[in-house]
Each structure stands twice: as C-alpha cells, then as structure tokens.
Structure 1
C-alpha cells in the first residue's frame, strides 16, 4: 500500500491538494483564481465582440454548426495539418497540445473534487472521488502527458533559440512569441518541481511514495541528489507553489490579449473555414458604390478572424514560391500587417490612417507585394489553422484594379479581353484555326449534339506551342471515337486569372457570355484543356448570381439566376476524361509503348485546388514511361509562376520559379539527370517551363511535353508496331495478329 494522506485512517490512497498551504492562502488563491477567470472571460468577450464590427461574409459559415465543430475538433485533436511537411514540428505541437489539454483537465478535476469535498462536508460526511485507482490512474496519466508537454516545449525552444529555424523569425516576431513558449515551459517544469518537492517532503523513502508518478519520483531523486531534504523541501515548497500559481494565473489572464489567444481564435477559424476556399472566391455586389479595401473596415469578420488566428509559424512563408523567387511577398507578413494596422487604429486614437494597398506612397501593403502572388494556394494548404490568404489577397487586388494601380502589361490583357474576348488580342475568328492542320474535322458543338463540350481555352487556341497540345488532344478524342465538339469563334476567355488579379466585373462579363454559348449547345459534360478553366467552371461559375447584373448595360448576356448550381453538368479536366477512355479501352494502351524517363509537375489548379493527382499519373504510366516523382509533388508542388496573372506581369525575381523547378527535376529527383522529359498538364505551365528552359539554360538537358503529346506518341508507336507486325505476317503468309 502506498503511503497516503487519507481522509480517515486506513482509507484509500490519495494526497493533500494544498500541502503546506494555509487556509488564508487558500482563500487568497481562490480570490486570484476568480479574478483571473474574470479577466480572461472579459478579454475573450471583447476579442470576439470585435468581429461584429467586420463586414458580413459572403456565405453562411455557421451552418451545420455541430458538424463543423466536430470536424474542427478532429483536425485539432489529430494535429493532422501540423504534420504537413514537418514531422518534428507536428510531434512537437501534438505533445504540447495533448499535454496542455491533459493538464487542464487534471486541474479541472482537482477543482471539482475540492468543491465536492466542501459540499459533502456540509452534508455531514467529507467525501472525495480523487482516491484509490482513480487517483493512481490520474497521477500516471498526468505525469506521462505532462512529460510530453515539457518535451514538446523543449523542442519548441530548441528550434526557436538554438537552431533558429528561419520560418519562426520575421518582422512581427516580438515578446509575445517568447512569452507563450517560455511561460508554458516554466509552468510545466514548475509542476514537476512541486511534485518532486512534495515527494521529498514525505517521511517515506522517495521511491516508495508514489511510484506511478514516475516523473515526480525522478525529479525527487534529482533534488535529493543535490542535497534537498525534507526540511528544505518544506521550506521551498510554498514559495515554488505560489510562483507556479501566479505564473499560471498570468498566462490565463494574458490569453485574450497576446499570442496565446490563438488557442481560441485558431479553433474558431477551423470551425468557420470554407472547404473550397481559394478554389472559389466571393463575388462583389453589382452596386458600383461598393468598396473592396478602401479601409480596414471593408474586411469581413472572417478575415479579421484570419488575422487573429495567425500563430506566426511561418509555414505559409516557407512554401510560398513568390517569396522563394525573391518577390516582395511574404503571406504571413501580409496577414499580420493588416492585423497590426487594425490594432493600431483600435488602441491609438492618434494613429495615422493609410491606404490599405497602393502603388507607391504610404500604404499598409504595397501593390508590388500583391502583384507577386501566384494564386497557387500553397500558403493556404500549408496553414495549420485554415487562414484563407487568397480571399484577403483578392480583395486587395480588386482595390488595386479599382484604383487603376495595375501594371501596363496587365491593363493590356484586360483591354484584349474586353475587345476581343481573349487575352492575346487576336481575332475571335482565328480561335479555331489550330484545327486546320488536322486531317479530320473537329465537330462544331453549335451545330451538332455532343457528349463532351470541349473548352479549348486561350493558349491552346492562339499560342503556337500549345496549339500542338490541342492537336494532340484532338487526335486522342478522334482515336477514341468520342463525341467531342468545340465552340470555335463563340468561345471566349474563361476569366479565371483576371479575376484573381482583381478584375471582377470583366470576369462576370466573360462568364456570362460563355455560359450563353454553353446554353445554345446540347452536351452532357464539359471538358477543359486548362486546369484554370476547369476550376472556374466547376467551382466559381455556379456561385455567380447573374441575375444581379441583369440591368448592367455592359453585361450582354441573358442568364436568369445561377448556372449549374445543382452540379447537373459535370466538368472535367481532359486528363480525367481520357483516363476514363483508357479504362474503357477506347484509348488502347498497354503500358509498354514508350520508355522515356520522365517526371511530372502537378498544376496548382488541378492539384491543390481540386485534389486531382492520380489521373495524370495514370496516363503517364499508361504510355510506358518511367515516372519519377520530384521531392515537391502533389499538394506540395511548387508553382510554375504563371498563376494569378504572373504569366503577363513583369516582375523582379532572383530566380524564376520555372527555373528552380527544372533544376529540381534534374538534380533532386531519384533519377536525377537521367530525366529526359518534364511532363505537364496545363497550358500555362507549358508556357512558363518552355520559357524557364531557355532562360535557365536547360535546353540541352530536358524537354517539356504535355501528357497529351506522350499519349499520341504512344498510340503512334503502337500503331507502327501493329503495322510492322502485319507487314511481317503478310510477308510470311501468316494471318495478321488480332488487335
């Protein structure tokens, strides 16, 4: 039987909650505890009440609240996003979180038991549930998880102050960061110190007092080893106890006013997240008086919550291709710059108001910073607390467009789209000219019912390199005898990237014009060459209330309400469509036709935006190519640099993202320099990598090809083999092999 402090002699094992703490001190403790909780509650109320001052968000983020909370609890408890790209960081955060929650529950149990004792004394019989097996289990669990808590914080301190992990430091690093990690670490260490002192102070051999409290016992042995005896332990214990209590009170009271608030705001942010954030963007009202980011008050309550939820972990910064290329964008700093500006206005009546975003002059965010964003969504994918960077970035891009703070090259693109319906400024009548070199006709979907309405897109229609890809894809459809048709000169630009640059009304005009053309055709599915088109048709067009713009003379379309709101029209990227054709045997490949060593680049709008990673890879494998993955692949893919208008902008870069990606393909893949072909599935990627191949000096080292080109080459190789076999059989008089 373990030595104990029984309620009555010979009762079950337990111990005193307030060892060596007088009744007066207990009264003071509870007074301070009550005051601390009051400060915490009031501060938390104030912080959350601020969100009522923000603009309404564009959709209901509190629908199915119970389901949202359950999903957020799963994400938080599993730490699943903390492990993304950082195993050590994930384990560290998991130890801290689980340890903190365990110690919080343990303290709550003690509080409940203490008042339960008071209540039962009032009834004439003092009782406690904190005894026996429950008590022993409690001690074992709290010691184990408390140890993980301290270990996790030790790792955090090591990474921040010894290794000095680069992403943990930035322009917004301040005392709050140190306060959070050091206060928790000292609270954890202090708890074990108290446990060790209490065990040393018992009039029993240390190892026999509480063997289940293995960390406390180890601490007690360490204290005894440096000369701490019963009397010293008894003298030191009250001082250590009050130091521990006061530091704990200080931490709790500070939660709403400093970085620890992220423990609440982050969870709230995960609860209110948009599962399609980035892939779809909020629209703007047709009211021309509406503003986007003229002042900090234009931001929605969710964007304010995003700012409060940021933990300054730097994960977004570490994966941002714009930052890696030397562009003046740091996603973390943008979010925190907005937060600090808002805080300055709230706390200082004399604070100077500034433009939120502008090209030159005094502003919170510089225009060049926003121009640098590639809309690749790497920052959002990496963020463990579901901050929706792209939503705030697009708001500021729209403000730049309203102000006319747009690069001349981008203004030219807007003009081309307005006058010609395409980003090249070429004649709409030339949109189908790429088909003239084919030895068959591509069906006109305006005249013939088809299964697939093929949206070809601007680059495959007008860019010489991408025309080759369009012709390859047309050959695949012809080989499969698929019912595919195109819109020819009634096809217009889909608007995806100009929307992300900030030209919302031009985007709506293009969308409405294109949907008018869609509705004049009879088809079952839409298939897209470009992942950017695929994303906007699938996720964004159905969100636009076109009727809201019916009275605008610039919007020359006739659409009532929403298009494809129920998702009856399936939208596919061409790799998904062709994968189905391969599976049904309409495109017959046996995986032996080609023997190239290749690597594949995941396009942002197909991968991170829409979670399609396997269809392109299955097609590459179906050709027989030996596919080697780059270190950064799938959701960790590195953007080509063309998204978010980057294709058209003139930007200062230390190294183009496309150049870095090609270097990675040749040096960091398992096959290394043996990689012969860099495979893409996006016209913008094709354009950016062909450029990077020239500017980076890789022309003799690697070839840029689209998956469609590989498939056509594989089909030609198979046909050549069949023809050769048939000729050989004819020469010997044998019957030709059955295909």
Structure 2
C-alpha cells in the first residue's frame, strides 16, 4: 500500500528538527523583528509630517489612487520604458518577492490561526499543497533569476547609470541579501527533501521542482539523508535569521523603497512640473522657496525616500549629458542625506546658495532646463522640477540669480519682453506681409493668436511668425493678434524662480485676453501653450480648455482640406524634434507629425522621440544664460539627426515647432559646424513651402 494513500500525507513537516524551544524562540524573534519594522515605518512617515503642507491634493479619492498605483507597480510599465532588460529584471524580482511573501503568509495562517487558534485540520495538504509548492518554486525561481540579472548588471556589465556619488556598500548588500534568501531557500528545501526521504515517501515533492533538483544535485555530490538531516537545523536557522534581519532592516535602509516608492506613486500629481504651485499670497520674502529642509512639503520629503538610486533621471538629463553641474539623482539624494544628518544632530546648512557651502549649489539649479525628462523617466514618480523650482525661488528672493537672467528679468519687468525692446515694436514683423493681420482688440475673432516674444522680436523667428500668418490667412480662418498689448507668457520666468514677475505678466496677459472677443487662443510657442493651459487659471483665467498650439490648429485645417495640400509632395527627407513643452509636458505628439506628413516630405524619426525627446537646452531660462558645456545639447541633437537616424546624412531638414528650439538649433548648427549639412525649419515654414508647391489655386480652397 502506497504511503500516498491519504491526502493528509501530501504535505511537509514544519519546524522539522527545530523543536518546541526553537519554535518558541523563532516566534519571539519574529515578533521583535516585526516590532522593529513597524516602529521604523511609523518613524519614517511621522518624519514627513514635519514637512510643509503640500499645495496639491494628494490623498483625494484614495481608493482610486491605490488601484491606479497598484496597476502601475504590478505591470512594471515604467520599468520597461526605455529599458526592457530592467523591466524584465524588476518584474521577476517584484512578483517573485510578492509570491514568496504571500506564500509565507498563507503558511502562517494555516499554522498559527487555522490549526492552532481555531482548531481546524490543516488545509496545507493534498492538491493545495502540491499547487502551493509548484507556484512557490516557479515564482521563487524567477525571483532568483531577477536578482541574478541585477547582480550581473551591477558587477559584470557595470551599467553606468547605477553608479554615482551616492553608490555605497548598502546597494550591493541589498542585492546579495535578496540573492542569499532566494538561493538559501532552495538549498534548505533540497536538504529537507533529502533528509526526510529516509523516513517517508517524498515522490510527491517533485511539485517543488527546484527543491527536487537541488536534492538531486546534493545526492550527486555525495550528500546522504543522514548528512542532510544533521545539516538542516543550522541551515534553517541561518535562513530564518537572515530573513528576520532583513524584515527588521527594511525601514532603515534601501529596502524601504518597496514601501516609499508605492506611497509615492499613490500620492503623485499627474500635472506636476507642467503646473507649478503658487506662492502663498501672504508669504514674506523669507518664506518663499526652500531655505530649510522642512520647507519642502511632506510629499517632497517622501520623494527623497522613494529614490532607488537607479540613475534613470541622470541618464536622460540633457544638462548632465552636456557637462553642466546637475545630476537630478544627486540633488534628491543630497537633500535626503542632509535631512538624515540633521536628524542625527549634524550641522545645519543653507539648502541652496552660491559658493559651495550649501546642500545644493546655485549653479546646479541654474543648469536645469526644466525639460522634465527626469520626471518622465523616473519609475517611482519623483517630482524633481517642483523641488528645483522651490530652490530657484529661494535663489531669486535672496538675490543670487544668474546675472544674465537678472538682466532679462529687468527687461521683462520694464518692457514686457525678454529682448528689452519697446512694446510698440512687437508687431513690426507684420510689415513685410502682403496682407493685413487683423487686430483682435478691435474685432470678433475665432482664434486669438498669441505670437510670443521670439516670433515678434527675433529676426529668424519672425520668418516663422510670417509663415503662420500666411497659413491662417490662406485658410480664411478668423484670427487676430494683440499687437503691442501682448506680453511675455512667463512660463520660463516662473521656472527660474521669479514668481512675482510671472504673476504680473500672467495678470496683464489675462486682462488683454479678456478685452477681446474670441473663441480660442492659438500660440506659436509650446511654452506659452503650457502655461496658458495649465497655470493661468491660478490667476482667474477661465478659458484654459480653449488654448491650442498652432500645430493642433493647422492639423485641423489640413484634415478639413482648408489648405489644399492634397497631393503635395516636397522632395525632402526630414526629421522632427519633439519640443519638451508640447510633447513631454502636454502629450501632444501626433498633430505636428500629421502636418509634416501632409506636406509630402519623408519623415524619418529621431531615435529619441516623443516623450523620450532630448531637450534643445533653452528651457528653464537656459536661453538667457551662458554655459561652459561640451557638447551643447543642440549640437548633440543635430549630430543625432545626421548620424543616428535611419536616413543619417541624407536628412535635409531638422524640423521644429518651437521658437526657442529654432534659436537653440540655429546656434548649434553654427557652433557645431553643421551649416553645410542640414537646415533648421519650422513646421509653419514647411507648410508654406508646400502651399507654394501646391497646384491647387488658392482662390479655390474651401472658405
């Protein structure tokens, strides 16, 4: 008669060779470990309450937020973005770890609640046990493979982004501990199966296929059941103590990111960066910006703890790539380390200042382009740009702003534009047109066109303004401009930290808008599009949903055949650069491409495109500053167009949809010696070329 005749025999002994004293000691140590863990988690979260109040709603619809965060974390979608290897690796580790945790919990419920407390027969037998063993071994194996992939990447492949000033022994210890727990569990399982085979039939244990394989290997190398029996208790205790020590250490070291990262995703703000918070109206100059670590909000303190040192932000940062003094990861971790040193009685410093005695140097913040690449790449939704803006506000209020930016701010204050030219010269660009540009202050229009500083004052961008004017004129849409009543939109003014000037510009522009009778606002500049859509409502602007970038309007004109481009074919091969404020900030990727394709050109995508686009270097006030950088972001981007696209050197045009991008890339084309290799063209200019090439008579186009 088989020993497997009864389902109750299909299980494994718990606390085998440990004894009652050992079992009691284990429960005691487990209780201590859990107590240390719970206290540590409480202490961490209690520390966040010392931060300032966050201006955003972070825990509204908490259930919905938790479900959404669980989907993001469970799918590992952000881990897969840009790095499939890391996505697979983290997926294996995450689901392997969760399975082992759930499996251990199920066993504890059966042993301590179901059987001991409730007096019920164990359910950890028969088919349930076999299924349990199969799943635990399968997912546990993936866990070990995932950790192995991480170790390979860190120690053999030596992936650059994993290393930096904050890399420490803690990072390696975390991985090796996980590896020891995973492999040690299988060794322990193989030893148990081999040891118990001397007294019972263990053939059903093949369900634990990794443990069974380990048992076979042990037998091959000469381990007997008696040797396995003698070795089991020491192996069990070493594994148990390591596991309990790991649990106790979670809140005090890198493993805490398993909790803080999920909390960070739960409390994320979908509009962070594109919509910066206002400075409280009653705030004194000393209260504006971050001068103390607890001036950061509780969510920003949580950001610091959520950082896993993965370096994704560092690897996509254009400032870092060009040699500027900025590594987004270092800023976040420098702030975290400073907070922890203060809590341990360390020396107090200024958060940000010029001169190198502060936690963050002024040049670091000046280097930021506010492109939001760091935030887009971060798998745990750290909101770098909002924190950088807080530090820029502190620099502004303490009089430590870059000299070139200070001069530009004065020009903006006195003349309403960053060129320092009189407001009366703002509409001078219309004089070279062979038609009149309507005045939106004097007549009802469908589109109130906000032209912007660079298309109004910069000679190269005036050509773009004239091209867009011609498109609107040829399509017979109702439009008009504000002429000299238009002022700088303030988007980049706000991001360099000059909140007071931003508010003044916003209020003046809103007043100008409200004096007109219009349906929609169309902007030339994605920076204007962003701040009108996302930020002006903080100052009473009610038409944020009626703001469009010009490519969105032109796409509609093309779709409705208002321009007569059907059949047009320009004989160019072009590539397109996604502007940060249109693409990454606001998710508009397709409208510009549809317009480009409508001109008949061959569009060859940049390797880094859409949300992964590489900033031109002009955002965040970069256009107003001088940097010693090599290479310039604009030079690197043009090199990428000519060398890394499929068409390579056959690219004729580098197409942009942003006046700042136009300025930066025209400069990069010269300084990088690309003048004879490629032209910089705005989408509006491309459309006007297509209009000229079109065989459709203009007077026959749809009204």
Same-fold call, TM cutoff 0.5:
yes
Question: Do the aligned partners of 2:529 and 2:549 also contact (CA within 8 Å) in 1?
Answer: yes
Please name the residue that 1:730 is paired with. Answer: none
Give the Cα–Cα distance (whole angstroms) in 2 for the partners of residues 620 and 239 of structure 1.
70
Give the Cα–Cα distance (whole angstroms) in 2 for the partners of residues 284 and 203 of structure 1.
71
Distance of aligned partners of 1:491 and 1:457 in 2 relative to their CA distance in 1, 3 Å threshold: same
Please name the residue that 2:652 is paired with. Answer: 676
Give the Cα–Cα distance (whole angstroms) in 2 for the partners of residues 256 and 60 of structure 1.
26
Please name the residue that 2:541 is paired with. Answer: 563
Shift of 1:286: 2.2
Give the Cα–Cα distance (whole angstroms) in 1 for the partners of residues 531 and 701 of structure 2.
46
Please name the residue that 2:694 is paired with. Answer: 718
Aligned residues: 700
Q: Deviations over 1:623-646 (max 9, x none)?
A: 000000111000110000000000
Q: Deviations over 1:370-399 (max 9, x none)?
A: 110000000000000000000110000011
Give the Cα–Cα distance (whole angstroms) in 1 for the partners of residues 373 and 529 of structure 2.
19
Shift of 1:359: 1.1
Give the Cα–Cα distance (whole angstroms) in 2 for the partners of residues 678 and 117 of structure 1.
69
Match of 2:111 among 110, 114, 130: 114
Query: 2:90 matched to 1:93?
Result: yes
Q: Deviations over 1:399-431 (max 9, x none)?
A: 111111112111110000000000000010111
- Residue correspondence of structure 1 range 599-614 to structure 2 within 5 A: 599-614=575-590
Please name the residue that 2:214 is paired with. Answer: 219
- Residue correspondence of structure 1 range 138-287 to structure 2 within 5 A: 138-203=132-197, 208-287=203-282
Task: State the SS of the aligned residue for 2:522.
Answer: strand
Q: Deviations over 1:554-588 (max 9, x none)?
A: xxxxxxxx221xx5651100000110111111122
Please name the residue that 1:383 is paired with. Answer: 378
Question: Do the aligned partners of 1:116 and 1:127 also contact (CA within 8 Å) in 2?
Answer: no
Query: 2:522 matched to 1:522?
Result: no
Query: 2:472 matched to 1:496?
Result: no
TM-score (norm 1): 0.92
- Residue correspondence of structure 1 range 140-539 to structure 2 within 5 A: 140-203=134-197, 208-289=203-284, 290-348=287-345, 351-539=346-534
Give the Cα–Cα distance (whole angstroms) in 2 for the partners of residues 603 and 364 of structure 1.
32
Unaligned runs of 5+ in 1: 547-561, 727-735
Q: Deviations over 1:150-203 (max 9, x none)?
A: 000001111111111111111111122122111111001111111111111132
Task: State the SS of the aligned residue for 1:59.
Answer: coil
Question: Do the aligned partners of 1:270 and 1:386 also contact (CA within 8 Å) in 2?
Answer: yes
Question: Do the aligned partners of 1:199 and 1:206 also contact (CA within 8 Å) in 2?
Answer: no
TM-score (norm 2): 0.97
Query: 2:661 matched to 1:661?
Result: no
Question: Do the aligned partners of 2:564 and 2:701 also contact (CA within 8 Å) in 1?
Answer: no
- Residue correspondence of structure 1 range 608-627 to structure 2 within 5 A: 608-627=584-603
Please name the residue that 1:581 is paired with. Answer: 557
Q: Deviations over 1:71-94 (max 9, x none)?
A: 000000000000111000010001
Give the Cα–Cα distance (whole angstroms) in 2 for the partners of residues 712 and 186 of structure 1.
65
Question: Do the aligned partners of 2:475 and 2:701 also contact (CA within 8 Å) in 1?
Answer: no
Question: Do the aligned partners of 2:58 and 2:267 also contact (CA within 8 Å) in 1?
Answer: yes
Shift of 1:654: 1.4
Please name the residue that 1:644 is paired with. Answer: 620
Give the Cα–Cα distance (whole angstroms) in 1 for the partners of residues 7 and 484 of structure 2.
94
Task: State the SS of the aligned residue for 1:72.
Answer: helix
Q: Deviations over 1:112-145 (max 9, x none)?
A: 000245437x75xx50111121111111111110
Task: State the SS of the aligned residue for 1:282.
Answer: coil
Task: State the SS of the aligned residue for 1:617.
Answer: helix
Question: Do the aligned partners of 1:438 and 1:471 also contact (CA within 8 Å) in 2?
Answer: yes
Question: Do the aligned partners of 1:206 and 1:220 also contact (CA within 8 Å) in 2?
Answer: no
Question: Do the aligned partners of 1:291 and 1:298 also contact (CA within 8 Å) in 2?
Answer: no
Question: Do the aligned partners of 1:191 and 1:244 also contact (CA within 8 Å) in 2?
Answer: yes
Give the Cα–Cα distance (whole angstroms) in 2 for the partners of residues 329 and 737 of structure 1.
52
